[in-house]
Amino acid sequence: RDTLLMAADTIVIMDGQIYEKLVDREDARRLLLSYSGKEVEVFTSYRLRYNDHQHAFDQSTWLQISDLDAKDVDEYLDAKFF
């Protein structure tokens, strides 16, 4: 039987620190406010496996985050975009 497995995971790197998955809304708020006005690297690693064949690749990009205030962040979180 043919089997395809796909997996991916993403992290954000800012000021040399790795930021992983958010725990809750307050964690998201704290993190988004810390990104305000900064440049962050978003790194995603992908893995594909089809039967006995495997392929792995990584992708990274740099994002410049706009200046955010608490109101902007709260509106974003209230819309449940995270």
Measured distance CA(64)–CA(36) in Å, rounded: 9
- Residue 72 CB partners (closer than 8 Å, separation 6+): none
Query: What pLDDT score was predicted for residue 81?
Result: 65
Residues with catalytic annotation?
Answer: 9
pLDDT tens for each residue of the chain, 82 residues long: 899 999 999 999 999 999 988 889 999 999 999 999 999 999 999 999 999 999 999 999 999 999 999 999 999 999 976 6
In order, the DSSP letters of the chain are ---EEEEEEEEEEETTEEE----SHHHHHHHHHHHTT-EEEEEEEEEEEETTEEEEEEEEEEEEPPP--HHHHHHHHHTT--
pTM of the entire structure? 0.76
